[in-house]
Amino acid sequence: MPDTSPIPVYLDCDTGVDDSLALAYLLASPAVDLVGVGTVSGNTSAAQAARNTLDLLDLAGHTRIPVALGSHDHLDHPYDGGAPHVHGENGIGEVDLPRAGAEIDPRTAVQLLIDLSHEYAGRLHVLAIGPMTNIAHALEADPSLPGRIAGVTAMGGAAMVPGNISPVAEANVYNDPQAAAALLAADWDVTLVPLDVTLEHTLSEQQRQQLLADERPFVHALGEIFDQYLDFYLPQYGERLSALHDPLAAVLAAGAFTPTIAPRVPVVVDTGTGPGRGQTIADLRGQRLGPRDHDGIRTRVVLAVDEPVSEHLVATILAA
């Protein structure tokens, strides 16, 4: 009989606005057992991301999930201050959450991931929705790590669309291209969720109001957190919508939807310092007659998900 038990997931994140919704979905989904969280600098600092995560977990009533502090700086450059114009100075839209009583786990994010990989050997799924610095450090600390991981889902890159931090680069990869290259080169199955698909799935103002109207403090706070985010995306969409970057990756990691187009193709990251820095170069040649996998390649690039992800996402959170 197939294994229907929840998927143990380690979440590596830079808890900003969309990370918060991804976290809420992982907590709400019956298909997922969130067993640990590591934080990294990206949308905000690793320390602020850890604070945000602890406070959100406490508000949601999940105080036993370990939250470990990860890398403040990236592999080849220091943390540059994040994206306060997108996520607010505190990473969560300037919403002031009640401070959790729980403290950061004494382990580093790297050690937490390695420990969980032994505890859930062969079953643990890694979901990386920030810069991939912690994952690169974990691979360096324990080269045998991939052999204990069931799969990796990473939000990052842009295969056939422009970047969001440069003409060619998406923010998670641009912030630490060496780390992204290490993740993609490791001997494990990777599902890369790039801007090609995340920009096509949006949260609407109406759906934000559904969250805001919920009487539970955690769900209500999600609605508040997204207010500034929808303002940021207004010039791009022409109405109050926001892209579902990290939540879409969470939905796919949970196995809730099967991508419509997701070929297994080689992906190379430009790790230089020129105008191509952070570009994810996916070899999509030969796809004209439909998706075609390259033999022996373990990275699949999600290009389309036809089902309405936002409806499922909000409904799952509201029903939890």
Average pLDDT in the chain: 97
In-domain check, residue 1: no
**pLDDT classification of 290: cutoffs 50, 70, 90:** confident
Predicted pLDDT of residue 4: 80
Counting the structural domains of the chain, the total is 1
In-domain check, residue 246: yes
Q: Taking residues 130-141, report their average pLDDT.
A: 98
Which residues span the domain enclosing 223? 7-319
Q: How do residues 65-86 score in pLDDT, each as one tens digit?
A: 999 999 999 999 999 999 999 9
Predicted pLDDT of residue 2: 64
Q: Taking residues 87-115, report their average pLDDT.
A: 97
In-domain check, residue 187: yes
Q: Reply yes or no on whether the pLDDT at 295 is more than 80.
A: yes
Q: Taking residues 17-42, report their average pLDDT.
A: 98
Predicted pLDDT of residue 1: 60
Q: Reply yes or no on whether the pLDDT at 129 is more than 80.
A: yes
Which CATH number do you get for residue 83? Answer: 3.90.245.10
In-domain check, residue 62: yes
In-domain check, residue 2: no
Q: Reply yes or no on whether the pLDDT at 131 is more than 70.
A: yes
Distance of CA 185 to the CA centre of its chain: 19
In-domain check, residue 105: yes
**pLDDT classification of 51: cutoffs 50, 70, 90:** very high
Q: Reply yes or no on whether the pLDDT at 13 is more than 80.
A: yes
In-domain check, residue 303: yes
Residue 284, both tokens: 């999509």
Predicted pLDDT of residue 175: 98
Q: Reply yes or no on whether the pLDDT at 246 is more than 90.
A: yes
Active site residues: 245
Q: Taking residues 282-301, report their average pLDDT.
A: 92
